[in-house]
Structure 1
Amino acid sequence: MQHQLLDWILISVATISIVWSAYKIREWIHNVCCSPVSYMIVTGKRHYTTDIDINQLIVKLGVLGTFITQDVNIIQKQIESLPWIQQVSVRKQWPDTLKVHIIEYIPLAYWNDLQTISTTGIIFRVPKEYRDNDKKVMPSLYGPEGSERIVLANYYVLNEILKSIKFQIKSVQMDTRCSWQLVLQDNIHLKLGRNNIIGRLYYFIKIYPILIQKINDHNTCIDYIDLRYRSGCAVRWGSHSITPVLCSK
C-alpha cells in the first residue's frame, strides 16, 4: 500500500512538473512571438540608400507587427519604391530581427541632364544631393525618349575605340534625326552625322596627329571637328577660323 502511494505521489509530481514546464514554454513562446520586430540588419553594396531612408519608409507603415504576424512583402515593396533600387529581399531572423538585402542600379551616366542611366540601360532618379557629384564624374548621354539603350550601346562602342588614343567621352548625343555628336574630355566636339559613325571616328583617330601638330605650332585649340564629309573634314579652331583637312579615308 505504501509503495502504491509513493508511486502515485511520484507520478503526480512528474505530471505537475511536465504541465508546469509546458505552460512556461508556451508562455515564453507566446511572449516572444507577440513581441514586435525590434531590430533590422541591412546588407548589400549601397551608394545612394541610407539607413535613414529605410527607417523613414518603414515608419510610414506604422507599428511593425510581431515576428509571426509581420508581412515582409509589405516592407519589401515599400523599400522598392525608391527609384534607384533594383532589387530588395526581406526575411525574418528569430526572434525579433529583419534582414534586408539591397541591390541598387549601377549608375553609368547622366541621362538628358535630369536622370541617371544604369550600366544595363535602365533610367532612374537619384537623390538630389548626389546629382551634382555624379555629374562631375560620369559622362552625359542625350537622346529622344525611348532611345536610351541605343545611345548606351553606341557609347560603349565609341568609348572603347577612343581608348586607343587615351580619350574619354564627356557626352554622347543622338538627336531626333539620329545624327550623332560627341564631346571629348578636352571639350573637342566631334560631329559624326547619321551614317558610318564608326568609320568617321576612326578617321578622326587617323588625322589627330596632324591636328595635334597644328595645336602645338599655333598655340591654339579645337572647337569642333565636322566629320560629315566624304573626303576630309572641317575643323573650327578656338579663333573661330574653319580649316578644311583633306585626308583619304
Structure 2
Amino acid sequence: MFETVLIRSRATPPEPPRRRGATSLEPERDRFGLLRGVLAAVPWLQVGLGAVIVLLAGLVPWGTGKVLTAMDQQILAVDVKGDFVGDSRVAIERAAGNWIGKSYFATDLSEIKASLERRPWVESAAVRRVWPDRLVIDIREKKPLAYWTDGRLVSRTGQLFAPPNPEVAGPLPRLAGPDERVRDVIAMARTMSDRLVARGLGFSGLALEHRGAWTLQLANGIEVVLGRDQVEQRFERFMTVYENRLAARSNEVSRVDARYTNGVAVQWKAEAEASGPKS
C-alpha cells in the first residue's frame, strides 16, 4: 500500500515587482548625500556674522551721512584769535567772512587755512569748528627780524616777505644780499651783533654784495668794510683796534677798512666831508 506523506513547507513570499527595464541588483544611491556633506562642512555661524558685519559696514556711512545732514547748520560766526602787529583782526575777520553761511560740516577747513596763510603777515593759521555754528581761527604772525633789500622784511625764521606796511615793524637792523643767501646773512649778523653787544656797541646793519664782500654798519654810524676773505678775523681785528684806539673818538670816525693784513685804515668824518662834493 502506498503511504501518503504530507510535507508542509513555509510559504515563499512573492518577489517584488521589478521595474521594467531595470537590470541593477545594487541598492539605490543617495542622490543628496554629497550636497548634505558640503552643507554640513560650512561654518554657518561665521558666515552669518560676516554677512552682518558687511551689512553694518555699508549702513554706517549711509546712516552717518543722514545724521550729519540732519544736524548740519550754517556757519554764523567766526572768532579770530592772535596777537597782531602787521595784520589786523578786523581784516582777517572780513576775509574769513566769506565762509559765513556755508555748511558747518561740508566746509573745507584746509581751504580756509591755505587762504589765510597767503596773507603776507600770517605765519600760520589753525582753524577749528565749534558746535553748532562757529569757526575759531588762531593766527600766528611772522616776527620781523630786520629790513631786507628793496624794503622787504625778513622774519626770524628766515622768510622774506613783502607786506604793504613794512614800516609797522618799527626800528630794525637793515640786512641786504642775494635772496638765496638770506640765511647766511642772518647767521653772520647774529654772530657780529652778539660780539658787538658784549663790547657795548650797537649793531645797525650788514650787507653782502653779489661778489661776496661784507660791509658792517654800527649803531653809532661807523661803516666797517670787511671784504670777502677772512671776514671773521678781520672783524676781530677791527674790534681790537676800536677798543684800543678808536672808542674815545668814535664820534669822529666815518669808515674803517679792515681789509689790511696788519691793521685797519680809518676815514675820519672831517676827511669825508672835505672829500665830498661841494655845493
Q: What is the TM-score of this pair, normalised by structure 1?
A: 0.75
- The aligned counterpart of 2:167 is 132
Distance 2:168 2:269 in 1: 29
One-letter amino acid of the structure 2 residue matched with residue 92 of structure 1: R
The structure whose Rg is larger is 2
2:76 alignment partner, one of 38, 44, 48: 38
Q: Is the 8 A contact 1:180 1:193 kept in 2?
A: yes
Q: Deviations over 1:102-125 (max 9, x none)?
A: 122221001103211111211112
2:138 corresponds to which residue? 101
Which runs of structure 1 show a deviation greater than 4 angstroms over 4 or more consecutive aligned residues? none
Structure 1 position 62, deviation (Å): 6.2
Which of 213, 226, 233 is equivalent to 2:264? 233
Q: Which position in structure 2 is the counterpart of 1:10?
A: none
How far apart are residue 229 of structure 1 and its match?
0.3
For the Cα contact (< 8 Å) 1:222–1:236, is it kept in 2? yes
- Indicate yes or no: 2:191 matched with 1:157: yes
Do structure 1's residue 58 and structure 2's residue 92 form an aligned pair?
no
> Per-residue deviation at 1:76?
1.4
Cα distance between partner residues in 1 of 2:190 and 2:159: 15
Q: 1: distance between equivalents of 2:101 and 2:217?
A: 51
Question: Contact 1:64 / 1:70 at 8 angstroms: preserved in 2?
Answer: no
Q: Does the aligned pair in 2 maintain the 1:227–1:234 contact within 8 Å? A: yes
Structure scoring higher RCO (CA < 8 A, sep ≥ 6) equals: 1
Q: For the Cα contact (< 8 Å) 1:83–1:126, is it kept in 2? A: yes
Query: Partner of 2:72: helix, strand, or coil?
Result: helix
Identity %: 26
Paired position in structure 2 for 1:193: 227
Q: Which position in structure 1 is the counterpart of 2:127?
A: 90
Aligned residues: 206
| Mapped pair 1:180 → 2:193 | no
TM-superposed CA distance for 1:49, in Å, is 2.5
Match of 2:176 in 1: 142
Bigger strand fraction: 1
Query: SS in structure 1 opposite 2:271?
Result: coil
* Residue 152 of structure 1, CA deviation: 0.8
Provide the alpha-carbon RMSD of the alignment.
Answer: 2.4
Name the SS of the counterpart of 1:177 in structure 2: coil
Instruction: Structure 2 unaligned segments of length 5 or more: list them.
Output: 1-65, 273-279
The gaps in structure 1 that reach 5 residues or longer are 1-25, 242-249
2:247 alignment partner in structure 1: 212
